[in-house]
Amino acid sequence: MRGMAHGGWLSLAPWRRGPLLLLRRPSVAVAIAVAVAVAVLPAAAGPVFLSSAGSATLRARTSSVCPAALGSQVVAPERPVDPAVLATAVTQEAQAAAEGLGDPAVTLVSAAVAVGDNRVNIAGRNGFEAHVQRIAGGPGHGLWLPDRFAAEHGLRPGDTVTISPNVEEWSADNVRRVWAPTAVPVVAIYRDLRDRSGDDPFWCGISTLYRGDPAQQAGGLGSDVPVLDLLLADRASMLAIASGAHVQTAQRIERAPATIDLTAPEATRLAAGITTMHERLRTTGYDGRILYRTALPPLAGRAALVERELRGTVLPISAGGLLVGLAVVMAAGAFWVRRRERELVVLATFGATAPWLGVKAALEALPALTAGAVGGWSLAWLLVARVGPSSDVSGAALVQSLIAAGSAFLLAAAVLGVTAALACRPLTGAPAPKARVRRRLAVAPWELLLLAAAAGYWSTGGDRSMVRLGSQYGTMVQLPGKLLVVPMLAMLCLCVLGARLATAAVRRWTRSTTVARSAVRLLYRRRLRHSAAAAVTLALITALPVAVAGYGATATRTVSATLAAQARLGAGSDVVITLAEPGAIPATLAGRATPVLRVDYVQLDDRQVSLLAVDPVTFADVAFWDDRLDDTTLAEATRALRAPAKGAIASAPVPDGTATMTFGADPPVDLEVTSLSTLPAPRGGYPVLLVDRAAVGQEVLVRAVPQLWVRGDPDPIRAAVDAAGLRVASFSVADDRLAGTFYQPVTYTFAYLSALSLLTATVAMVGFLLYLESRLRVLRRGYAMLRLMGLRSAVQGWLLLAELAGSLVAGCAAGLGLAVTAAVAVRDQLNVDPAAPPGTVLSFPWPVMAGLLTAVGCFAVLVAVVTHWRLTRSRTSEVLRDID
């Protein structure tokens, strides 16, 4: 025995075969594996999610940017054509090209060239034929004309156009040389590029040549400058035309990134490479007037800003998830001790101390711990890929995720071993704390300290803040940590306090002398009295994750719904299409589109307003409106526009009453104005004025920018507009107004909290399994005794279902109530832009919560049925010999 006491027990089979023994108890192995997965998942998901947020920020900002602008653009000024100089520039650019850029696209451009009596732009680029819709003609050396230009001037393939020279050359005696206009053949007609709602990436780098600059597109100042037609040619034809017609020509060399699916670190490296490339080109001495452009450095810096600053909220959430997982690991360790109690007592009699028994627990659980860690790390990647901002993550995030997962694995193993060692102290004869001390510690309301901490943090947690990274990278909104920390602390406090009160109430109820109306109720009351603490604990570990999940999902939906409402109010509707010329509503969009004429800088008495001439019949059905904006709905207000008198609707601060509208040469118009607090599509802070489009003057009709406001999904709308052949100046989607703005990272924070809250069902299921397995022997003996007493098996099945599902139902109900209460309490704080209407749009994810509760409920019923089946397979003789 002395040898055993000094370590001979290490040679016993329970130690030698430790890692294999747990395979005999699959329920324990599954519980430990899932518990470790719950702990590893948030730790491993943190770095991956941060990289995903950076990639999503980059994607949101680059999705609306021309790929050529993201890469390198080398733009030489207009000059007389010299093929040797142009070839040298292309060679130098190719030698300095940065790694990660694609093939070069070389374009020759002659702007504002006189063709007959008209001014046009001419562009020469190889391969353009595959990126236009040819209407007539075919290949050849000459010009391709847009169909509207050709129809207006009666031109067809085979005709010629006359190009006037714009190169000035002077002789030695200061005499200007004059060249005659040159006739150039027309070889083909193509569909005007302006007839598309979007630009092909092939053309986006030179889209201003045929769409004009943003001011011309939006109808603002400078919109009276005409947008010139674009004539096309291949590079050889362009060189011949420019040389023969003596037209000045500029050369553009553009390289888009080889791939636009970049992570933030990849974008940073590529941006540095492009900057170095441009510095090398500047030293070649080619021409100091050459412009070197790239839009990538500030976008990459913006993504890095978001990735770095989100750590302040993502990492605490990950730490909270890790603590929840470790708590489940502690419960699994205590459950392991209870299931292996007999063997542990035998080892203790041979001299094994509590710390060594804790080591045995860690070794025995090593396969389950490893499987859980691998599963948690895999689930972290799957979680971010499915519900994260982006599926693109960097290689550095992979390494950091592996390190975090490994650290969580080691920590979970240590926690399991320490918990098992502490639980084994009574088995080894170690002195236990005095009963009086334990009672005092148990009675003290320690959970109120959490509530006090939450109140203190709320009062000192500060308000939302702007985090700035350099002057060129802008700002981002970072919500205060109190919106995450305080609700979680408060819910934890209330859950623990509620569990304490519920335990006392259950015990008092089960001790009452009220006569039960049935045997099932009597047996349920007695079982609940003996396991009150375990049943309430199961309800607690169910309520807390449900509360966090409900709050996280509600906060996510509320922030997103509020930002979406603000974006739609700012845009006017889901999609706003600005037309280059008036056009009819496509038949496929009938019923969900309305025509609008927009004119800014209209005078209403002594105020400048933005005028929207609308169709009173369809406008209210398509334009965005929220009942929180005003007591009067938009549909009620627009009825005033249909009256015979000239009515109008204006946004504050325009008052109710009669006002005079003046614009240009149109005669003044007296309007009966109905004032609302706000109206859709404000611009520049000016009030919005709605009038019937049939009542506006001729100059308004001429100067107005025609728009179509459409409600619905952007992709089918874009297809319908393209099919109708409308000339589109811009295609604006309300949801895109927030893409890449400093508000967007806020949604990433709550999305991460909501994603981790998906662990709710897992935590509840693990707790359910632990509770069930801890009571399995008691349930088996009770089933055998009640069968001997003549109680039917079906009755015992309902009794088992009530015992097992009662705690889950109570926990889910309590958690859902806490989530709703917390969201309502902080709803005003969830509006990241309180000054913008329509205010906070509180949105509860009832379908998500219903699905979660349904999954937990179905799992409880399934486990209860399986457990009842296992009980019916028990032999009475073996059960009665089983001594607990």
- Cα–Cα dist 52/390, whole Å: 5
401, 417: one domain: yes
Last residue of a domain, one of 399, 432, 465: 432
Is residue 815 included in any domain, yes or no?
yes
**Residue 136 and residue 156 in contact, taking contact as beta carbons nearer than 8 Å:** yes
Q: Are strands 688-692 and 607-614 parallel, antiparallel or unpaired?
A: parallel
- Cα–Cα dist 8/465, whole Å: 63
596, 476: one domain: no
Bridge partners of 101, per DSSP, are 257
- Cα–Cα dist 304/266, whole Å: 11
877, 799: one domain: yes
Is residue 438 included in any domain, yes or no?
no
Report which secondary-structure segment, H or E, holds 466. Answer: strand 465-468
403, 473: one domain: no
596, 500: one domain: no
452, 353: one domain: no
Q: Among residues 806, 876, 788, which one has the least CA distance to residue 521? A: 806
Q: Among residues 244, 214, 301, which one has the least CA distance to residue 113? A: 244
- Cα–Cα dist 551/555, whole Å: 6
Pairs from 711-720 (Cβ < 8 Å, separation ≥ 24): 711/573, 711/574, 711/575, 711/592, 711/593, 711/621, 711/622, 712/574, 712/575, 712/589, 712/592, 713/574, 714/574, 714/575, 716/588, 717/575, 717/577, 717/589, 718/197, 718/198, 720/586, 720/588, 720/589
162, 260: one domain: yes
Which residues have CB under 8 Å from 403's CB, separation 6+? none
Dihedral over alpha carbons 119, 125, 126, 127 (to 10 degrees): -80
**Residue whose tokens read 């007389």:** 80
| DSSP per position, 785-805 | HHHHTT--HHHHHHHHHHHHH
* Backbone φ and ψ of 457, nearest 5°: -70, -35
Is residue 816 included in any domain, yes or no?
yes
Q: Among residues 552, 659, 27, which one has the least CA distance to residue 314? A: 552
pLDDT, tens digit, 9 for 90 and up, residues 405-433:
999 999 999 999 898 888 888 877 666 55
- Cα–Cα dist 333/419, whole Å: 6
**Residue 744 and residue 226 in contact, taking contact as beta carbons nearer than 8 Å:** no
For residue 98, give the DSSP letter. Answer: P
Which residues have CB under 8 Å from 420's CB, separation 6+? 333, 334, 336, 337, 357, 358, 360, 361, 362
Residue 23 has what pLDDT? 66
Bridge partners of 144, per DSSP, are 188, 232
Q: Among residues 432, 448, 336, which one has the least CA distance to residue 29? A: 336
249, 106: one domain: yes
408, 471: one domain: no
Structure tokens at 38: 């719950």
Tell whether pTM > 0.85.
no
Q: Among residues 57, 45, 131, which one has the least CA distance to residue 746? A: 57
**Residue 287 and residue 241 in contact, taking contact as beta carbons nearer than 8 Å:** no
411, 511: one domain: no
Residue 166 has what pLDDT? 75
- Tell me the average confidence (pLDDT) per consecutive run of 10 residues in the chain, 884 residues long: 46 58 71 84 89 87 87 90 87 91 93 87 92 90 92 92 77 62 92 83 89 59 70 92 88 92 90 93 75 90 83 79 80 78 78 82 86 90 82 88 93 90 79 58 73 81 49 60 80 86 80 62 71 79 81 83 87 91 90 92 89 92 89 86 79 90 83 91 89 81 89 92 85 78 67 67 69 74 74 76 79 89 86 80 83 78 81 70 53
Is residue 775 included in any domain, yes or no?
yes
550, 604: one domain: no
- Number of domains observed in the structure of the chain: 4
Is residue 313 included in any domain, yes or no?
no
Q: Among residues 304, 476, 377, 386, which one has the least CA distance to residue 46? A: 377
Is residue 314 included in any domain, yes or no?
no
Is residue 664 included in any domain, yes or no?
yes
- Cα–Cα dist 377/371, whole Å: 10
- Cα–Cα dist 599/583, whole Å: 17
**Residue 856 and residue 792 in contact, taking contact as beta carbons nearer than 8 Å:** no
Is residue 228 included in any domain, yes or no?
yes
Range of the domain at 100: 68-294
759, 698: one domain: no
